[in-house]
Amino acid sequence: MEVIGRVGRISPHQLPVEIVESLCSLLTGFDALSLSQTNSWWRKYLSEEYFWQCRLQVSTAVDNLESWKKKYAQSRSIVFKALKVEDKSELMDACVYLTYKAEQRRRDLHRPSHF
């Protein structure tokens, strides 16, 4: 544990397994997908097929070799494209947020460097 001022910072691998499992059960699939791309520890921890199968919420059994995580990511990309035509404001807000972040990143790439 690293202490910064009065705040302690704990790495996820230092937490008891029960706490990590409880925290991950609260994550939406999109949050877990983002978290799984932050570092190798989270990528390994969130690579369990059952975790992604629950987040995908499909009722059909799938026998092919594609991972559930990949299926989740692909199904979400289809949902986000459809958001532009459906009239659901909470879903549109998520789409707008993602679009804003992409535009901001694009602007930052073209900003002149001071170094």
Say yes or no: 65 and 32 in one domain.
Answer: yes
pLDDT at 111: 57
Say yes or no: 65 and 75 in one domain.
Answer: yes
pLDDT at 65: 60
Segments of the chain with pLDDT less than 70 = 1-8, 57-66, 68, 72-115
pLDDT at 90: 47
Say yes or no: 41 and 89 in one domain.
Answer: no
Say yes or no: 20 and 75 in one domain.
Answer: yes
> How many Å apart are CA 75 and CA 55, to the nearest integer?
11
**b/e code 15-42 from CB counts within 10 Å (16+ = b):** eeeeeeeeebeebebbebbebbeeeeeb
Say yes or no: 109 and 64 in one domain.
Answer: no
Structural domain count, the chain: 2
Say yes or no: 105 and 49 in one domain.
Answer: no
pLDDT at 4: 57
Q: Per residue in 41-51, pLDDT tens? A: 888 888 888 77
Q: Which domain holds residue 113?
A: 83-115
Say yes or no: 23 and 73 in one domain.
Answer: yes
